[in-house]
Amino acid sequence: MDANELRRLISLELDGEISPEDEAVLMDEVSRDPALAEEYRAWHALRRGFRSFEKPSPPAGLADRIARRVLEGPPAAGKRMLFRSLPAFRMAAGFLLILSIGGVIGWYLGQGDVAAGPRDGDQGEARIERSIQELLHLDGKQLREWTRIGQETQRELDALGGGNLAERREELQDLMLARRLHLLDETQRRTLMNHMGLSREEMDRLLRLSRGR
């Protein structure tokens, strides 16, 4: 039996698909041939490596968002980016504590500084930038203000220290969203609201928050 055929038997043995006769042949060869024994150990090590993988978990709320979107109807071209980008770039931004819907959206919008340009190696942010531009059709003045609020919030986030970090981050992120919402006209707000699944009440709460600042 040639080496390739013996490797094929190792593969079958790994999967419990080998016949008793072939298994006996394989084990006999393995016991006599050190190179094959090494091969055998390597294939089993590979299996152990695979089995040590943790199953990837979907981001929190993904099922709900998908169900809502599917039941609403097929996605428009521009919707996909916003939808998918929300949880995926948390880590890239370094915001590890994502709490409320407002916090999440606030963070998300915070990464969409349309004038800031993508960071090295983070194509996702560039995609978000384009998505926001396409989605909201920000004019030049809105764009500048949007960017300024994002940068200002980022500085405040960077300067955070002491206790209750998660809560204060969330507050800042909510506030950033609130201030940015304030820049938008009613049509833009409705667009954003629909895309992000924000309720009217949540939107109103955020607008009240922006007026209080």
Distance CA 79, CA 196 (A): 10
The token pair that represents 138 in the structure block: 């920000």
Distance CA 209, CA 212 (A): 5
| Least distance from another protein to the Cβ atom of residue 189, Å | 24
CA-based nearest residue to 11, from 38, 35, 47: 47
DSSP state letters, 79-90: HHHHHHHHHHTH
Under the criterion CB under 8 A, does residue 118 sit at the interface with another protein? Answer: no
The token pair that represents 4 in the structure block: 């390739």
Site for another protein in 1-20 (CB under 8 A): 7-8, 11-12, 15, 17
Are 172 and 110 contacting, i.e. CB atoms less than 8 angstroms apart?
no
Residue of the chain from 85, 111, 153, 210 that contacts another protein (CB under 8 A): 85
Decide whether 89 or 95 has the Cβ nearer to another protein. 89
Distance CA 91, CA 211 (A): 31
Under the criterion CB under 8 A, does residue 64 sit at the interface with another protein? Answer: yes
Number of residues in contact with another protein under rule CB under 8 A: 41
Under the criterion CB under 8 A, does residue 46 sit at the interface with another protein? Answer: yes
Residue of the chain from 2, 54, 120, 201 that contacts another protein (CB under 8 A): 54
| Least distance from another protein to the Cβ atom of residue 107, Å | 15
| Least distance from another protein to the Cβ atom of residue 183, Å | 27
The token pair that represents 144 in the structure block: 């500048």
Distance CA 26, CA 31 (A): 9
Give me the residues that bind another protein (CB under 8 A), please: 7-8, 11-12, 15, 17, 42-43, 45-47, 49-59, 62-64, 66-67, 69-71, 74-75, 80, 83-85, 87-89, 123-124
